[in-house]
Every structure is written in C-alpha cells, then in structure tokens.
Amino acid sequence: MRYSGKTVLIFGGNSGIGLAAAKGFHAEGARLAITGRNAESLAHAAERCGAYAIRSDIASVSDTEAAIDRAARELGGIDILFVNAGIGGFAPLPEMTEAFWDSVHDVNLRGCVFALQKALPAMRDGGAIVITGSIGSMLALPGNIAYAAAKAGLRAAARILAAELLPRRIRVNMVSPGPTETEIFKRGAPEAEIGALRAMMTANVPMKRMGTAEEIARAVLFLASDEAAFINGVDLFVDGGCVEL
C-alpha cells in the first residue's frame, strides 16, 4: 500500500500502460483520476480501476487545463502525475507531411509539455512526476523521425523540469518502454501486418519477447513511490535490453 492517502492523475489512463498503471496505483491505495479521448473506453477503464474519469484530448491545452481543474477538485490536489498519453506513426522523411508531423508533436511533445506546465499549480510539494518516453528517441529507426524527435524533445523537457522543480522537492523521471504489447502499434492495421510487425519487434529484442503493459507499469509505480526518493531526472529503459545490449 505505497500509495495509501496519495492522489494520482494519469493522462492517457484508459488503455495499455496507462490503464495498467492505474490498476496498480488503485491496488496500492491511491485515489486517482484518468483521462482519455475515447469516452467509451475511458468509462470502462475507470470502472476497472476505481478512478474518476475525465474525457480530455491532450493535444488541446484547454482540454488539459479543464481536466486538471476537475481532477484537483475531485481529488483535493495532486501528489503524483503520470503523463502517459501518446500516439505512434511512421513516415520516412521524403513522404512526411506537415500535418503528420504536427499530429504527432501536438500530442507527444507539445501536449505533454503543456500538461506538465498546467498541472504544476495543483501538485503538492514533495510529489512525483513520471513521463512515458520511448527507446525510439535513442534508436535510428527508419521512418520514425517525427515520433523519435517528439520523444527526444520530451526527454530533454523532463530533465530540465527535474532541475526546475528541485526547490519544490517534486521528482521528475521518465520510463521508456521498448516493444510492448499494447494497442498503440495495432491500431488501423490488418492482422497479417500486426503479426509481421510483432515478429520483427520480437526478433530485435535481446530477450526475444515483447514486454507487457504491466511490466512497464511496475517501473512507473516504483519511480513514483518513496522507494525512489533519491532518483531524479532518469530515463529508465524497460526494453528487454534493446538499448544497452
């Protein structure tokens, strides 16, 4: 019960890693609010993890502000912020459009950075922030320019924010998953394509398997807890050894 008496806000808590983390926080005593764009999946997720549901699109700063205000009123302030919302997408540079670049960065960089900014007044001193990054920010994966640039920018923002928040004793850390069994890489793709992508991803992981949302969530819960009280500004790779081996 590491989170008994603590309040948690998760941006992007209605599926995948966000939902797995929400279940973990709830199981350990936290009161929490989760956001998501899809009202149906959000309601279902909130019911499964005992959370207060707030429909919100992180690409909209006004949505984000409203969501934080509602969460802070419902929870009575925020101890832990988990910024997990994100989208994927591949396009090699010759085929990239401005619209594609903007759609990825509006969520994965601009949206997440302004979610961090807008949440700070509602956060209690001594709290913790965890941000979902990606090993894609470290790897030269063809076709991944927009996504990798956004996540690399988010990593830089996380380190700087960790330094800026030292006077408030709010720790800021990042968890960067490797290939993980979530819905994000399956959306809009036929089954055969999904199978080929899974096989390719698995082959490139030294441990020869993909991670699970629950495995990533355990790292999130650790970094948000008092067990990680002397850890600040890190980017923790949860990737089966992809970056380091």
Catalytic positions: 147
Return all residues near 117 (Cβ < 8 A) that are at least 6 apart: none
Residue 4's SS3 state is coil
Distances (CA, A) of 62 to 33, 131, 138, 155, 232: 18, 20, 31, 23, 29
- Max intra-chain CA distance, the chain: 52
Separation of alpha carbons 210 and 221, rounded Å = 20
Q: Which amino acid is at 155?
A: R
At 86, phi and psi to the nearest 5?
-170, 160
Q: Which residues face 82 on adjacent strands?
A: 10, 130
CA atoms of 66 and 71, how far apart (whole Å): 9
Question: 237 near 135, Cβ under 8 Å?
Answer: yes
Distances 101 to 107, 170, 183, 189, 239 between C-alpha atoms, Å: 10, 32, 21, 20, 25
> How far apart are the two ends of the chain, measured CA to CA in Å?
34
- For residue 44, the one-letter residue type is H
Instruction: Please list, in sequence order, all residues whose beta carbon lies within 8 angstroms of the beta carbon of residue 39, skipping any fewer than 6 positions away.
Output: 55
CB atoms within 10 A of CB 187: 11
